[in-house]
Each structure stands twice: as C-alpha cells, then as structure tokens.
Amino acid sequence: MFLWGARKRCVERVAREKKVTCHHCGSEALIASEAVWMLGAATLDIYLKCSDCELETPMPLSPTEYKRCGFDPDEALPDVP
C-alpha cells in the first residue's frame, strides 16, 4: 500500500529511532514508500527508499509500532491518497 501523511511521517520517525540505514550505501536518508502486511498481519514490512542511491531497504514493524503509526490489519487502505 502507498504511504502518505501522518502514517508516512510516523514510519519515517520509527526508522530514525531504530537507526535504520540503507543496506547498500549506509545512508540514513530514507523515505517510506510502501507498506506490505506479512505473515497474517503479524508484522508490517515498510519499504524505505534511499534518497542517495535510490535502492529500497525493508524494515519490519512490530504490532506495537504499526499500531502507534495508525495501521490496523483489518483496514484496507486505498492505493492513492
């Protein structure tokens, strides 16, 4: 699902708190681009695009983290804002 608004900002804040970096170049300049539910909604995988090398880095969110950012596994989000 496409990310925007408060959810996108929250996910990017979680990435900074977790000190997630790009697996390719080591940059911390990551922009949340997409969210995918994994393993029956046990985790939510967030794909972060590196603003330096433009490759994607996955970051799983725990139920506590995705709830904090306003995600609900029973809610279907539209693809565009």
Q: pLDDT by residue (tens digit) across 18-74? A: 999 999 999 999 999 999 987 666 779 999 999 999 999 999 999 899 999 999 887
Could you tell me the residue ranges of all domains in the chain? 5-68
Confidence band (pLDDT; 50, 70, 90) for 75? low
Q: Distance between CA atoms of 27 and 66, rounded to whole angstroms?
A: 23
Please enumerate, as own/partner, the contacts of 72-79 that have beta carbons within 8 Å and a separation of 24 or more.
73/37, 73/41, 73/44, 77/1, 77/2, 78/2, 79/1, 79/2
Beta carbons of 35 and 65 less than 8 angstroms apart: no
Q: How confident is the model at residue 78 (pLDDT cuts 50, 70, 90)?
A: very low
Q: What is the structure's pLDDT at 69?
A: 95
State pTM to two decimals.
0.82
> Which has more pLDDT, 8 or 76?
8
More confident call, 81 vs 33: 33
Asked if residue 57 lies in contact with residue 47, where contact means CB atoms within 8 angstroms, the answer is yes
